[in-house]
Chains A and B, each alone.
Chain A
């Protein structure tokens, strides 16, 4: 079985390890800049007060006006330069982290069971690779300088104020404490309300998606009244819950907003300061400097509250990324082997998806001799598609084994297995490249002649030549939008060029585009020549003559053999056949009057 990645270190801190130097530098530099700003303010206060009879002496050094000016200018430039550098360094770290995570995730996707990728869906993967990775940005880039500043500024302010006049420092701290006590007293238990609010918020997201997705369909049988009502209801609920929650928490919020704004602190410090100055126990410089510095404490508390929000969002993103990073990857074999024959054997294959209770396959065994064809049939959900997907290791079997030419597929390197098995039509995906490039992707060293030969065999050469740029036409270009059948034939050309000896084919997808069935039939015939073929069959008429039919029901093989033999058994296959012939003979009938 696949090895489960042990991931004990979860969360934001773990995921940001690769850029922790950047982040630490960002925090420290921002802190230094915060301290310098306070120091600058204190010095400025000193410069100003000399005029009013104070002395200009810093660390016992006397300064003149001119020197003081240059010193302060230098200090300001330095403060902002350092702050800027802290911003830049934390952003560079964030960008670096984006690149590292995306590279890592794409590599990981390549080692994961392909089945996971398919069942998760491109949309969900895209969300993690793009949006979640991006959501870390707020934490790494924007929060780090803020943390540094928000921690350093109040501390430096407090220290400066204590040095200047401890009584004023107490006054400033007192205002803050009073504010927090009031806030705490006004705070009510909002857990239920918050939960309702969050729930209704995720509900409107769902409602929006439903409303938008259903619109084209809904519009054809009414003007959207019903779905609009549902959308409207979700919006109303959201409005209601938001209001309820805000009303409950508004009071502490307002108190915080008012007390933690600089004005009350300034007022208290000024009042106390004037008292002390008139009383003679405080110098004018002391008052000036305290006024400059005192608000530093209150000012930086607000950003910290916002920071909490950013942290929550980034943490959720980090967890989703780590979830993917922690997924099991396919085991890599220690001693890779290369098959020399190409018969396929399934022996007692039992399979379930992940930890599910229900087995998708139970004790499935059958043998496909080299260069013969075996058809898998059964009602939908019987397990035939699962079997087909286990052969190219979209998933690994839970028990039992699948062998090609006697070699267990788990003992082959991915490269060997991919060279051995083609799973046609799973990937009718065209890259944003030329048509030649899209075929050549199967064998990068193939010559132009080989590419053309494959295209001819796949019945697509004539079509390609009819395009103005021929093989150099870009697959994504407007006007050369290929139809489903044309795309499929490009895929078949790819498979022909790849020339893998074992081919797994899903007939349902093969004829998804009935308009050029006969061409696809010809292309397939060329592809399947001299190959070991396993086909998931839906049109039973096409498999009447195959060497072996394996019938499935509820994850088990019920019958094996040729068409006539299975019909005679009057079991799963016979029932399928009856249904099939019934469906084939249907045409739209109606007892209309205008006949």
Chain B
């Protein structure tokens, strides 16, 4: 309970004081309600034992009641306002906090989490967490505090009755524990069944082409149909486990109240209890019984919040990569790998097992062009990732201009590096702003100059609103090559002295390829360039070719030197030339 309270306060962020105040007011309001019900004791007394002053006393009691109702109404009025306030503000703050965290966490952690998972955290989980702030907690507080208040007052009216009522709880609590265990168990079982169905459905939709060709669709897709059936059974069982104990609690509470009522009646008949007290208590109990009985079902909302909060915490707990003192600044732009060993974190799905780079050392002089070649999984992409500090190597160091990149602020490092990927991400914004985001203070003329250099000025001016066309409006009509050229214009505008190219033309058709190739030629002028190449013919002119195999640097040199060496590079070259000569 206390940890739950602390968690809620943490979620509330800057509205925590507001939430705390709101909780106090809720408790006050619940106590007022409890007192109001206790007022039934004197009311019934006047009804059953009327005397000449009864009317006067009834009027006073009525006045007090009306006063209490008004106080309660006023309190609720305030709570409602502050609840919405904390709901809105807390959600907002939590999203900002998560957003900031996404900017800080190592790219490796970012990559580990799928886009879907992060989406759910930032939209869904945040909603679940703040939902509790928006009025859910006060239902729980009312359900507990109002009856307890009345019970405490009853203690003074007739302690035997209060005690008898209090005795119901020892019966309920073990049942309540049981229901939690059972529903958790059922939840897990049906959760697993649901996961199986999910992956089977995805497999079905993705593999539909093959399944259709092999006639394993519809009722014939045995595995899928079995898992659907299994899910239904598991869900049904889980539902029974959840519903039945919940209703048992409700029944126990109600029967308990009935027993207390009858006990009271016996005492009345025996003469040891005032009839008026008995009647009043009875009216009170019936009022509370239903909400108390269904209390167990309400608490599942907190389970949802806790699970969501755990996920959010997981994300918030990731530490950003440390920046070593003293902070450096880069003045030269040669790149050095010094005995670098690297392996991906164990839970990274995209990696192969074990170490990805073994003892890799090289120096790439300023303004040189270096090509990384090797089969997939040999470590090419990892090298470019490490230059942007995707993750830190386990051993060795990476230096730019002699400065270890671990002592550079992320901003400082990124200021000097441009990366051109295979996939381009364009924002739903004007084309101008999409290019300008590389250098926020660039003039329109600078943006257009970069676009011209990247070979996209011409097609941009042909768009309906030219540079002010929003990407969303024309979304699909930009070809892969055009998108790629816009991303190169970004990189040209940025003018960073180091350029990393990750096979930027491999996904394009020949026509766009030529245009993108020209744009790249402009981009790499006078830069320190590292290019990953699958097609070896594109890097013949490189100053150095680094050949990687299974994470090791096996050969280095110019094309001619490596061909003369007749080793791994020459073999790859020959195989590619062979494939090139293939005729359909």
Contacts and interface: CB of A to CB of B under 8 A. Distances in A.
Nearest to A296: B290
B579 to A, nearest CB: 4
B394 interface: no
Contact of A208 (B58, B123, B520): B123
A45 B517 CA distance: 89
B282 A288 contact: yes
Contacts of A221: 414, 417-419, 437-438, 490-491, 494, 496
Interface string A156-192: 0000000000000000000000000000000000000
B255 interface: yes
A254 B76 contact: yes
A515 B541 contact: no
A517 B575 contact: yes
A588 B539 contact: yes
B43 A51 contact: no
A478 B440 CA distance: 44
Interface in B262-314: 262, 265-266, 268-269, 275, 278-279, 282-283, 286-287, 290
B354 to A, nearest CB: 9
B584 A535 contact: yes
A466 interface: no
Nearest to B103: A224
Interface stretch (A311-319, A363-371, A425-433): A425-433
Given A212-B118, A483-B376, A235 B243 contact: no
Interface stretch (B14-22, B157-165, B173-181, B507-515): B507-515
Residue among A246, A442, A508 with the most chain B CB within 10 A? A246
B282 A122 contact: no
Contact of A584 (B219, B261, B429, B537): B537
Interface string B226-270: 001101100110011001101100110011001001100110110
B411 A587 contact: no
Contact of B527 (A125, A270, A427, A590): A590
A561 interface: no
Interface string A390-417: 0000000000000000000000001100
Contacts, number: 417
B452 interface: no
A212 to B, nearest CB: 4
Contacts of A580: 510
**Interface residue tally of chain A, by bracket?**
35 or more
A236 B89 CA distance: 10
A310 B540 CA distance: 64
Interface stretch (B91-99, B322-330, B397-405, B458-466): B91-99
Nearest to B50: A278
A51 B265 contact: yes
B6 interface: no
A531 B62 CA distance: 97
Given A235-B92, A284-B48, A587 B209 contact: no
Interface string B43-60: 100011010001100100
Interface string A258-285: 1001111011001100100110000010
A568 interface: no
Contacts of A15: none
Interface in A437-464: 441-444
B191 to A, nearest CB: 13
Interface in B545-560: none
Interface string B64-88: 0110010011001100110010001
A99 to B, nearest CB: 5
A350 B537 CA distance: 40
B207 to A, nearest CB: 5
B361 interface: no
A152 interface: no
A291 B36 CA distance: 14
B188 interface: no
B437 A222 contact: yes
B269 A239 contact: no
A594 B366 contact: yes
A479 B437 contact: no
Interface stretch (B148-156, B196-204, B337-345, B441-449): B196-204
Given A51-B278, A209-B119, A288-B283, A126 B201 contact: yes
Interface string A35-53: 0010001001101110110
A254 to B, nearest CB: 5
A515 B205 contact: no
Contacts of B479: 380-381
Given A379-B511, A594-B366, A130 B201 contact: yes
B209 A427 contact: yes
B549 to A, nearest CB: 11
Contact of A52 (B48, B123, B215, B525): B48
Contacts of A323: none
Given A91-B236, A122-B202, A129-B205, A545 B247 contact: no
Interface in A312-361: none
B265 A431 contact: no
B13 interface: no
B224 interface: yes
B319 interface: no
Contacts of B368: 592, 594-595
Given A114-B212, A418-B213, A579 B543 contact: no
Pick from A130, A236, A443 the residue with the most CB of B within 10 Å.
A130
A226 B247 contact: no
Contacts of A494: 210
Contacts of B58: 274, 278
A130 B198 contact: yes
Given A220-B414, A594-B368, A542 B375 contact: no
B215 A415 contact: yes
Contact of A212 (B89, B115, B216, B421): B115
Nearest to A94: B235
A426 B254 contact: no
Contacts of B419: 220-221
Given A274-B58, A295-B287, A426-B209, A579 B510 contact: yes
B228 A99 contact: yes
Interface string A371-388: 001010001110000000
Contact of A373 (B103, B366, B429, B584): B584
5 shortest A-B CB distances, which residue pairs?
A: A110-B217, A517-B579, A107-B218, A514-B534, A592-B367
Given A130-B201, A429-B210, A494-B210, 9 more contacts: A44-B282, A76-B258, A91-B236, A110-B218, A222-B414, A288-B279, A521-B582, A539-B580, A593-B526
18 contacts: A95-B235, A114-B208, A130-B198, A211-B122, A215-B102, A380-B511, A418-B212, A427-B213, A514-B534, A521-B578, A528-B584, A538-B509, A539-B580, A541-B581, A583-B510, A583-B517, A589-B524, A592-B529
